[in-house]
Amino acid sequence: MPELPEVETIRRIVERELVGQTLEAIGLRLPKLMRASPLPTLDVLVGRRITAARRRAKVLIIAWTGDLSLMIHFKLAGQLAVLHADGSRHVAGHPVPDPTGDYPHKTTHLIARFGRGTCLYFSDVRQFGWLRLLPTADVEVALAAFKFGPEGIGHGTPTPEELGARLARRRIPVKLALLNQSVVAGLGNIYVDEALHRAKIHPLRPANALTDAELDRLHEAIPWSLERGLEQGGARIIRQRAYPQDGFPQVHARENEPCPSCGSPVRKIRVGSRGTYLCPTCQPAPG
């Protein structure tokens, strides 16, 4: 958390609520968040207007007048909130701070004030997220350094053959391969579990051993899982666990609950360091 659906939800909030707005004041309470930033201070944004918001993998890019862009990575616990003077609010990302509570919170590190009483708050209870301010012309070079793979949803998603080629070079468990952002950009723990369950693939299956039929199912399941998350505005997290809404997630964080496909109890295992949920009947163990 946050994963691609959460970051895409944040992007849509910025696009809908802040594009066209001019920044009147900005305060950064935690300067270390400006990690590897070509421009070390956000003060130069005051007086500039937001012109666009886009996303690459889990990175949000906010474009400003004057050919500047602010890149934001939410890492494990980033949250963005936009509050208006009329009391309306739009919050996405990590559940801390409480989206219905008071802002700024003690974990709020960035406060940006726009006209008509609109405020943007960036919070991060774990302080792993980062901000980078740079010329817009340099954004693509900065993104290229991450070596992101194709997007898991929308324009540029890989074909089954391309997905197979990316996995064929990896003998590690397919769960870990899919978490690698150079294979498919934007996938995280929740949505990999959901995609593998839908594709009926055990998370410990070697990534380079998938059959053509499994690759076809996985190719369909990856965007399916991300789209379901996006429909909900991102996963709902309660007590650090994904809380099902309208039957999704189907297996993640649902240990001992019945699999929606066959009724077998969902199991939790560890793959690498990641808690992983699966149905042992729908996703038989390898070998």
**CATH number where 63 lies:** 3.20.190.10
In the predicted structure, residue 112 carries a pLDDT above the cut 90: yes
Residues 129 and 191 placed together within one structural domain of the fold:
no
Name the catalytic one among 11, 55, 56, 58.
Answer: 58
Residues 138 and 12 placed together within one structural domain of the fold:
yes
Q: Is residue 137 part of a domain?
A: yes
Q: Is 214 noted as a catalytic residue in this protein?
A: no
State pTM to two decimals. Answer: 0.92
Domain span at residue 216 reads 160-278
Name the catalytic one among 3, 8, 151, 214.
Answer: 3
Residues 95 and 179 placed together within one structural domain of the fold:
no
For the chain, give the percent of residues with pLDDT over 70. Answer: 95
Phi, psi of 213 (to 5 degrees): -65, -40
Q: Is 200 noted as a catalytic residue in this protein?
A: no
- How far is Cα of residue 280 from the mean position of the Cα atoms in its chain? 27
Residues 93 and 217 placed together within one structural domain of the fold:
no
Amino acid at 205: R
Nearest to 39, CA basis, from 104, 106, 136, 117: 136
In the predicted structure, residue 259 carries a pLDDT above the cut 90: yes
**Which of residues 82, 109, 144 is at a domain's end?**
144
User: What pLDDT score was predicted for residue 264?
Assistant: 98
Q: Is 11 noted as a catalytic residue in this protein?
A: no
Residue-wise pLDDT tens digits, 200-225: 999 999 999 999 999 999 999 999 99
pLDDT average, residue stretch 228-236: 80
Residues 131 and 216 placed together within one structural domain of the fold:
no
Overall domain count for the chain: 2
Name the catalytic one among 2, 104, 244, 249.
Answer: 2
Nearest to 80, CA basis, from 234, 248, 244, 241: 234
Q: Is 3 noted as a catalytic residue in this protein?
A: yes
In sequence order, the 6+-apart residues with CB closer than 8 A to the CB of 106 are none
Name the catalytic one among 15, 220, 274, 280.
Answer: 274
User: What pLDDT score was predicted for residue 248?
Assistant: 86
